[in-house]
Amino acid sequence: MPRITVILTTYNRLNYLKKAINSVLNQSFKDFDLIILDNASLDGTDEYVRSLQDERIIYIRNDENIGALNNGLKAFDLIRNNIKSEFLSFFHDDDMMKQHLLESEIKVFKRHQDVVLVATNIELIDENEKTIQKKALRRISHDIIIEKYKYIEGFLKRKYAIYNPTVMIRRSFLLEYDFQLRPEIGQAADNFLWFEMNLLPHKFYIIHEPLLKYRIHNNQDSQINCSKMQQPFFKGSLDLFRKNNLDYLYPFLRKFAVSELINTVSSQKCLSINSKETLKEYIEVMKKDQSFAEKIKLKLNIYLFFSLYLPGILRLIYLLKKKLLKLL
């Protein structure tokens, strides 16, 4: 069996998928296979993947669209019942691995036998592969090892994050504790999984170098469903902390939740999709649990007002300026 199994889930993104697949096949580390889980794409993905002459590719196509999360759950079924490789790498169809990503992560596992998960920094790119930001984790200047509870705390304090398409995990670790994506958490189930793993006395490792190009585009789940992703994730995290007597994390979660709310409604992409009703619903969910969020105070209302209306005002000024320049 190959040392690594790379699992790539895809749906109707052939234009990005071609580059994603090439980035895997061109890795400096060669001892891997690539499982492509196609969620019944209708854009020619089937024909393209079947035309590729590389014995490392294993193509699995669903008969019908079962949803992105269920496609992810299917990957975990394969891990339990079919995959035998030592390490697992999760990947997206719209991102691109840099050439030494797999090699760099394998080297970490060789040096640190107590590390169960390795991730890397990322470079943000746009739809045309133009660099938006060279390092998403700007506060990390060197590789870091993360102990029990410290990823949860560091994430809520915005010190660092684990990006799913950079993750490599020891398969034995997943099987030993029977980890699984939780459908009730929704689209943020991957980060909730890192939270659950971090409750155990096993170490994570983050490589400070950006070894993956992470694409930001309008057809991205995290852009389209940004507000819907947050509510079940925050509620699930709160329940997780209560269950494990991690009361000290409540204030960090509360602050993070409010911050994310403000960021969401002030984002132009999210603002064009989500209505004021969604914002009101979000606030009500927060207010129901006093340990999660205190009563919405005047200061926060002011922040919310500017977050909600300022992007629209700035766009209006920009459009007016553009028209005036044409008239001159």
pLDDT tens-digit series, residues 120-129:
999 999 888 8
pLDDT the model gives residue 226: 55
Do 197 and 293 belong together in one domain? no
pLDDT tens, position by position, 242-296: 999 999 998 888 888 877 766 665 554 444 444 556 556 666 665 665 545 454 4
CATH number at residue 169: 3.90.550.10
Do 195 and 310 belong together in one domain? no
What is the arithmetic mean of pLDDT over 96-114? 97
Band (pLDDT 50/70/90 cuts) for residue 297 is: low
Do 142 and 28 belong together in one domain? yes
Do 253 and 112 belong together in one domain? no
Tell me what the pLDDT averaged over the chain comes to: 84
Q: Structural domain of residue 17, as residue ranges?
A: 4-215
Do 210 and 235 belong together in one domain? no
Do 60 and 160 belong together in one domain? yes
Here the tokens at position 316 are: 């209006």
Q: Would residue 220 count as lying in a domain?
A: no
Last residue of a domain, one of 177, 195, 215: 215
Q: Which residues does 293 contact at the CB level (< 8 Å), separation at least 6? A: 254, 257, 258, 286, 287
> What is the pTM assigned to this prediction?
0.82
DSSP labels, 76-143: HHHHHHT---SEEEEEETT-EE-TTHHHHHHHHHHH-TTEEEEEEEEEEE-TT--EEES-S-TT--S-
